[in-house]
Amino acid sequence: MPAPVIRAGTCFALYGFEVAHAIDLDLAERVLAGPERVRIKARRRAPGYFEYRPAPLRVTVQTEPLAVGTWRTGPTADIVVYDFGAVSVGFALPLAGPLDELPALAARLSGNEVLVAAARREVDQLVAALGAAATRPHVPGVVEDYAIFQAAEFAEPCEADDLVTVYAELVGRVLRAETRPLSAQEVSEATALHLSFGPGDVAVIETDAAFVYDPEADDVRAVLELANIQLLEMRYLDQKLDETLDRAYEQLARQRGPRLSPPELRRLAGLQLDAAVLFEQVSNALKLIGDQYLVRVYGMAGRRFHLSEWDASISRKLQTLESIYQKVSDRAATRRMEILEWIIIVLIAVSIFLPMLGK
């Protein structure tokens, strides 16, 4: 059976970066050129608390079109700025042609150094423009990429269900960025998490990519973009906690007993507070209560990204850090009390023997 032909569609190549401890979005809105607040358009009436908290900024910048095989990115890139210090850069590649061409595009997008370098340049320019709006900016390290293949219209009518049944092997290769045929087991795993809002749309979510057949998929794309950023922040936070715990263990190993110098103790407490605040901001960046479809989209993305496992790991490390800090702090307080007790004993002894010496 010939593959369906896409008449209109777009591939969104997303790249997430951690760039600062925090970003003042109100100040950023004043210093950046033409930003707008991101709003998710719900598919049905949703309550007022169905929104970002706070709403990130979206900035559209002019870029040079970049070649990705026979495809080219558009003349602009979208940059989304989040208050917890993360930035997402998105390039759009127009899609038109047979569906069986998409695995080749997916393979070229996987680890594409040209697009990653272009995204980094945009991020560097953005951070420079933010100035004081970015608190404790740093060089972007790990990048979290994600691709969303959106088919808005096919040349011939195509049932949404056929994309996860008749053409499941083809869609699976797109999601896995694989140009070779896949086994039935691999296809089943790649297309296992899919959902539809109506009979004419479907979203298939995988770890590194998603395939969406929907003429209006802005809401799904926004939720997937945030989930990708949350994964980035979880990885970043997990790495920072590992480094902090390693330094604490090394410091304790160099000394006798559970002691840290006051500067090290203050630094440990500061890192613990920063990690806890960032974890809370990332976890509560989006409230989806009220729109069950987007709740399901976010839930499926979370399952693919293993966000609950990352959440548990970070919570456990925060508790370990809290335990270390508490034990060291208690030990330091005990030592101070012992020293004070000895000082008091010495003063009492001096007060007793001084009169005797005088006589």
Q: 327 phi and psi, to 5 degrees?
A: -65, -45
Sorting pLDDT into bands at 50, 70 and 90, what band is 10?
Answer: very high
Sorting pLDDT into bands at 50, 70 and 90, what band is 45?
Answer: very low
Token pair of 252 as six digits: 């304790």
* Residue that wins the pLDDT comparison between 104 and 30: 104
CA gap 330, 79 in Å, rounded: 46
Residue range 56-90, pLDDT digits in tens: 889 999 999 999 999 999 999 999 999 888 999 99
- For the entire predicted model, the pTM comes to 0.83
CA gap 66, 122 in Å, rounded: 14
Residue range 150-196, pLDDT digits in tens: 999 999 988 999 999 999 999 999 999 999 999 999 999 999 999 99
Token pair of 126 as six digits: 């953005």
CA gap 209, 299 in Å, rounded: 15
What is the pLDDT at residue 260?
A: 54
Residue range 127-141, pLDDT digits in tens: 999 999 999 898 877
